[in-house]
Amino acid sequence: MTTLYIDGDACPVREEAYRVAERFGLEVFVVANGSRPIRPTGRPNVQLITVDAGADVADDWIADRMTATDVCVTSDIPLASRCLAKGGRALSPKGHHWTPDNIGSALAGRAVAEHLRATGINTGGPASLTKDDRSRFLSALDAAIQAARKPAPPKMMVPPGGF
């Protein structure tokens, strides 16, 4: 069964994700360290998980539970990479699908930006979320959930010595 994980502290599309998850009948875990209060949703399929403060504690909680049939919404590129490593799907709040083909360059770009910031260079922050971003996110989440729910194709067994 597919589960939706939301990296919750700064996720601007929680409400959109809740609606999509409800339509698909998915369980949702919104994981945060409580640095920004998140109001309870009143939705029976949504659980708010508050983890201890600390670097990557929420990410660890999600990555430890992620499976190949799950989807994670996150802006955190290292968390997206960890979700992909588990065979799951990850997408950003702007509707960008993280994949094994694009995650490496995203991690490299993040490392470069981190280095520039450490040397005092302002790399700017993320652009504000637009109406088009929200629309793209809804489409991307729908597609990710549908893909996650499809059974994996059967593996072809090759007999010893080939065919």
pLDDT in the model for residue 13: 96
- CATH node for 3-149: 3.40.50
Question: Is there a contact between 4 and 66 (Cβ–Cβ < 8 Å)?
Answer: no
Q: What is the pLDDT along the chain (163 residues), one digit of tens a residue?
A: 999 999 997 899 999 999 999 999 999 999 999 777 788 889 999 999 999 988 899 999 999 999 999 999 999 999 999 999 999 999 999 999 999 998 888 888 878 877 788 888 887 777 889 999 999 999 999 999 999 998 766 666 666 666 5
pLDDT the model gives residue 14 = 95
pLDDT for 79: 96
Q: What CA–CA distances, in Å, run from 35 to 39, 56, 70, 72, 119?
A: 13, 13, 25, 20, 27
> What does the domain layout of the chain look like in residue ranges?
3-149
**What per-residue confidence (pLDDT) applies to 156?**
64
- How many CB atoms are located within 10 Å of the residue 162 CB? 5
| pTM, entire model | 0.85
Residue type, 146: Q
Q: What count of residues does the chain have?
A: 163
Nearest to 97 by CA among 146, 53, 52, 144: 144
95: Cβ–Cβ under 8 A, 6 or more apart, which residues?
133, 135, 136, 137, 138, 139, 140, 141
